[in-house]
Amino acid sequence: TYATWWIRQAITRAIADQARTIRIPVHMIETMSKLRKVSKQLLQEKGREPTLEETAEVAGISLEETRRVLKISRHPISLDRPVGESEDSYFGDFIEDSDSDSPVNTAS
């Protein structure tokens, strides 16, 4: 029935709205899906990873917009994520606090 389409759309949108830690608007998720689909299609046709320019052209999206969408689509990483083989240093340890004094100035 006609209601099936609306139910499917409501479920798809709910998943899109709640699936990520940082919410991305539904229209951006649709653009990401389109770019992924085009990229897979080009991979099958050409036998290699397509360039951003090729993907943007086939998708009908500007290169600048394609770069922006792909940048947004990256997943965030935790500041508590271990760095390297050892578990004693974390990603957050390497983020500079621009509001605090530098260790060189503090030691002087």
CATH number for the domain spanning 35: value is: 1.10.10.10
* Domain assignment of residue 34, yes or no: yes
Looking at residue 106, what is its pLDDT?
A: 80
* Domain region containing 65: 24-73
Q: Which two tokens stand for residue 5?
A: 């389409």
* Domain assignment of residue 62, yes or no: yes
* Domain assignment of residue 15, yes or no: no
* Domain assignment of residue 96, yes or no: no
* Domain assignment of residue 58, yes or no: yes
The model scores a pTM over 0.95? no
* Domain assignment of residue 92, yes or no: no
* Domain assignment of residue 81, yes or no: no
Q: How many C-beta atoms surround the C-beta of residue 84 within 10 A?
A: 7
Q: How many domains does the chain have?
A: 1
* Domain assignment of residue 35, yes or no: yes
What averages of pLDDT result for each successive group of 10 residues across the chain (108 residues)? 89 80 82 94 94 94 93 84 83 83 78
